[in-house]
Structure 1
């Protein structure tokens, strides 16, 4: 299995909130609800993230459903994501950037324009229900300039590498913790 397939499988698992092996729109949008719940926020507080996830479903995920059964299985997800990376790299990158920007705004609770280690681990723990320790090493790898915080550019760059790079050593591969 390739590095990209490992990362795509991890992404599939993150989006599959009910763990039934199929992605449906409510799974994808549900990430914002889990985040709101974990941070004690009203779902409306996450409107930008919710909208970007709904757009991601409508424009990307829904088209992955090749057998028209109303959901996307792991194989459909992998195959379609790989094909889009090759044929529509700029458009998919814009959608990832939109999601990344909404994500960054949510993570930046103190509104200083940067994401601290605590903000990063708290957000990922809340969204993905992975142990906080999973993200300590990831944070160190993603903090390119070593200032102890993640900038919007560091986060966007990491997400782009995560979803497009076949290089096992790419920093962005650490975004959701060690592969």
Structure 2
């Protein structure tokens, strides 16, 4: 069962991903997020981003869609989040794919601008991200390495410590 903190974190992401505010996550929500993200990035490569996002939808629906109706409720997602500790391989694989999506220029590091674009894509709003990025940049080099991103992703989805940087991967909780 997901802890209160995990429920809170997952709810933040659920709300952001439910692009049409109908109370369900559906494939169309992930397509809309991808369209928003590619619009923000303003570059080619949308095919790979779409592939990554639809892969995330496939993984989420396989683990969370308990009634197999191709719609995930908030409660179904929270049940799945509570089980992620036993699926660390899946969490890590998803992290690696999402890192590739965020690392727009493919240099193996996420810059503050790339991170800001990810947050804008999730929320649909331009929000300040400098403090959040600084918290995630563990070595203070101005970039988030893949290993840092994976650690933060696992902290976000599996962790139950409000003080870890990964708790705020998708913004303030």
Q: TM-score of the superposition, structure 1-length normalised?
A: 0.83
Name stretches of at least 5 consecutive residues in structure 2 with no aligned partner: none
For residues 2-35 of structure 1, give each alpha carbon's deviation from its aligned partner in whole angstroms, at most 9, with x where no partner exists. 1111111111112211111101112123222111
CA distance in 2, matches of 1:115, 1:68: 35
Cα RMSD over matched residues?
2.1
TM superposition shift of 1:82: 1.6
Q: Is the Cα contact below 8 Å between 1:137 and 1:177 reproduced in 2?
A: no
CA distance in 1, matches of 2:59, 2:100: 18
- Tell me which of 117, 120, 144 is aligned to 2:115: 120
CA distance in 1, matches of 2:70, 2:109: 39
Q: TM-score of the superposition, structure 2-length normalised?
A: 0.86
Q: 1:48 to 1:144 in 2, by over 3 A?
A: same
- Any idea what SS the aligned residue of 2:68 has? coil
For residues 112-136 of structure 1, give each alpha carbon's deviation from its aligned partner in whole angstroms, at most 9, with x where no partner exists. 5433223321332134223331x12
Q: 1:123 to 1:98 in 2, by over 3 A?
A: closer
CA distance in 1, matches of 2:22, 2:55: 22
Matched, 1:99 2:126: no
Q: Residues 137-148 of structure 1 correspond to what in structure 2 (within 5 A)?
A: 137-148=131-142
Aligned length: 171
Name stretches of at least 5 consecutive residues in structure 1 with no aligned partner: none
